[in-house]
Amino acid sequence: MADFFLQALGQVSSPSVLALIVIGVLFGIIGGSIPGFTVTMAILVVFPFTFAMDPVSGVSLMVGVFVGGYSGGIVSGVMLGIPGTPSSITTVYDGYPMAQNGEPGRALGIGVAASFIGTLISVAVLVFFGPLIASFSMNFRPWEITALIVFALTLVAGLSSGALLKGLLAATLGLLITTVGYDRNSNLRFDFDIPALGSGFEILPVMIGIFAFSQLMGNLEKLRDEQGKAKGVDTSVTIPYGLILKDMAGQKLNTLRSSLIGSLVGALPGTGGTVANFISYDQAKKFSRHPETFGKGTPSGIVASEASNSAVAGGAFVPTLALGIPGDLPMAIMMGVLILHGINPGPLMFEQNPVLVGAIYASLLIGAVVMVLCQLLLVRWFAKISLIPQEILVPVVLMLCAIGSYALNNNLFDIWVLFVFGVIGYLLWKAEVPLTPLILGVVLGNNLERQLFRALELDDSWMTFLTRPLSALFLALAVASVIFSLYQDRKIQQNQLRAKNLPEQ
């Protein structure tokens, strides 16, 4: 592996790839800095520009956006009190009060340092555990892979916070979208009398439409009032380096614990930075000698939040590369990049594309260094960018999304696909249907169908899924995740009813 890593490091260290990583990190930080834009949106906008690149260049650019995006959320969180991304919500709890107390530079510096260390620790987790999981999963046959995909979809749907049924419906809708066009035996299933649909939907315009278009429309509604906070914000920020070093020296255990939580949560399908963010913040408060200071501008809260959400980056790569199961939504898009470049993530990737795996490791490390330098040197400019009104941002991003979809095949039909799925995504968002299970259904649908048919061709008995131990285990876990989610939903409803029946104080 060391030889392949050195070979990959040589490719990633070339001036052109280094420039792409720097551009990716800068764009990611800018995307994360703008409230409502999110790291996922930044990745979707950059995605089409990777078509003309070789795999190492394309993946390096995307990894740069990934690393920068998770750290960029701190800027608007500290300066405006509005989290730039959902994964930096708890950063606001202590970052904004610290900035209000006259120390915005200290809050930003602590957050950037914690993000850097969190990314490094998550890369170590990826390097050690990625090959081990891939080696173990080499024993997986079509039955095990089919059951694993089913488990991942139920897990993602179950994590849709109190909306299990909607999450399962969204995942099913995503799978149905992949049935449009010809099947693997060249039989036409659905084309709705539209010849262009004979080859099915392209993943890119569907993903951009469902997520980016709907979220941009939603942002116009949600952030209309919050933009008022941007008025009168002082963006002149100075980083007190000596004080940051002293703060971080007192946060060693908190940083390590939060980074490991972020890495482990990132490795679970369907979780991502937001879940890691809240768990780490909660644990930091429970282990703190001064829990009463949380929410009032304590460095411990900022460290817990930023170390964990940045550590998700490396952790989320573990199931994506080793099993072909994306850990979260940005990873689903990253998987789309690899598929478009003819690379199928999964157990064989470590054997068939070791240089590309090494390039991902190297890009994460280099991206983390670039992220620290960019954040510390350009933080004032990022603070100004976070003030861009949504009324200006939305049309520009929509135009970029449309250009990106058109560039896929130089086909106007893909732009129509983007807008149709954008409207569908917006209506689903209004109905509070989670979009992540839907997108994962689109990404995993073809692989699920391929593995299911291979399993049935080898043995036409459905009972084989239950007689093979690992396959049966994954299916049992899928059923357990649904039952547990039903229990959680019921508990949430009971708490809501109990709260409504409480007398007003």
CA distance 336 to 188: 24
- 353 or 386: which carries more pLDDT confidence? 353
Predicted local confidence at residue 24, as pLDDT: 92
Q: Hey, what are 291's tokens?
A: 């829990």
CA distance 127 to 276: 20
Strands 188-190 and 181-182: antiparallel
CA distance 237 to 84: 18
Give the pLDDT band (50/70/90) at residue 133: confident
CA distance 44 to 332: 11
Give the count of beta carbons closer than 10 Å to the beta carbon of residue 14: 13
Predicted local confidence at residue 432, as pLDDT: 84
Q: Is the pLDDT of residue 436 over 80?
A: no
Q: Is the pLDDT of residue 212 over 50?
A: yes
- 152-206 residue pLDDT tens: 788 766 666 567 788 888 888 989 998 888 877 777 887 788 888 888 887 778 8
Predicted local confidence at residue 280, as pLDDT: 84
Give the pLDDT band (50/70/90) at residue 235: low
Predicted local confidence at residue 256, as pLDDT: 92
End-to-end CA distance of the chain: 64
Mean pLDDT across the stretch 240-259? 90
* Residue at token pair 């906008």: 45
Q: Is the pTM of this model over 0.85?
A: no
- 455 or 158: which carries more pLDDT confidence? 455
Predicted local confidence at residue 404, as pLDDT: 73
Q: Which residues contact 313 (CB under 8 A, 6 or more apart)?
A: 66, 67, 70, 119, 122, 266, 364
The DSSP code for 193 is T
- 70-106 residue pLDDT tens: 777 788 778 777 666 666 778 888 888 888 888 888 8
Q: Hey, what are 131's tokens?
A: 């090959």
Domain ranges of the chain: 1-499
Q: Is the pLDDT of residue 229 over 60?
A: no
- 109 or 271: which carries more pLDDT confidence? 109
Predicted local confidence at residue 472, as pLDDT: 93
Mean pLDDT across the stretch 493-504? 65
- 380-394 residue pLDDT tens: 777 777 677 767 777
Mean pLDDT across the stretch 483-503? 71
Give the pLDDT band (50/70/90) at residue 117: very high
Give the pLDDT band (50/70/90) at residue 505: very low
Dihedral angle computed from the Cα positions of residues 370, 371, 377 and 378, in that order, rounded to the nearest 10 degrees:
120
Give the pLDDT band (50/70/90) at residue 350: confident
Residue type, 489: D
Residue 190 φ then ψ, to 5°: -130, 135
Q: Is the pLDDT of residue 291 over 70?
A: yes
Q: Which residues contact 338 (CB under 8 A, 6 or more apart)?
A: 55, 59, 344, 345
- 295-341 residue pLDDT tens: 888 999 999 988 888 888 777 888 788 777 776 677 777 777 777 77
Contact assessment for residue 327 and residue 269, using Cβ atoms and an 8 Å cutoff = yes
Q: What's the mean pLDDT when you consider all of the chain? A: 81
Give the pLDDT band (50/70/90) at residue 504: very low
Percent of the chain residues past pLDDT 70, beyond the cut? 88
| Sign (positive or negative) of CA dihedral 422, 424, 428, 430 | positive
